[in-house]
Amino acid sequence: MGHTPYGYRIEDGKAVVDDIAAEKVRELFSGYLAGLSLKGAAKKAGLDCYHATAGKMLQNKRYLGDEFYPPIIDEKTFEKARVEKRIRAKRLGRIWEHKDESKRDYPVEFKAKPLVQKYEDPYKQAEYAYSLIESEV
């Protein structure tokens, strides 16, 4: 199965909610939604972890529950945390959004002698083609 997310334990081959750890997960979500930083919310919840770890916990869909894991967080809280994380990241300039740049058109015109030889090697063919250029217009 892999790593068991914080807040769960495995008993008889099934994931069950670890009540003490699950309460810390809920406190992490509520602290973050109350305005604390990732690290601050984790510390308030009693979790000794890096901010990146806390951020990944906020994005872990296992806490919503699935066929193996029972739910710890309701969908509304999970979605609020996701939206809040995106708002904060955008405010801090951590979300890169593609900016449409105007297409630059570089005029390429030249005069060349006619192509008369063919080479199997594409590099030799290109070298030959470039050698036929007489002048740029």
- Does 2 reside within a domain? no
Residue 4 backbone dihedrals phi, psi, to 5 degrees? -85, 125
pLDDT in tens, 100-133: 777 777 767 878 888 889 999 999 999 998 888 8
Domain of 58, in residue numbers: 8-91
What domain count does the chain have? Answer: 2
| Claim to verify: residue 130 and residue 74 sit in the same structural domain | no
pTM over 0.75: no
| Claim to verify: residue 84 and residue 117 sit in the same structural domain | no
| Claim to verify: residue 76 and residue 111 sit in the same structural domain | no
- Does 82 reside within a domain? yes
| Claim to verify: residue 78 and residue 42 sit in the same structural domain | yes
CA dihedral 124, 130, 132, 137 (to 10 degrees): 170
pLDDT in tens, 43-66: 999 999 999 999 999 999 999 999
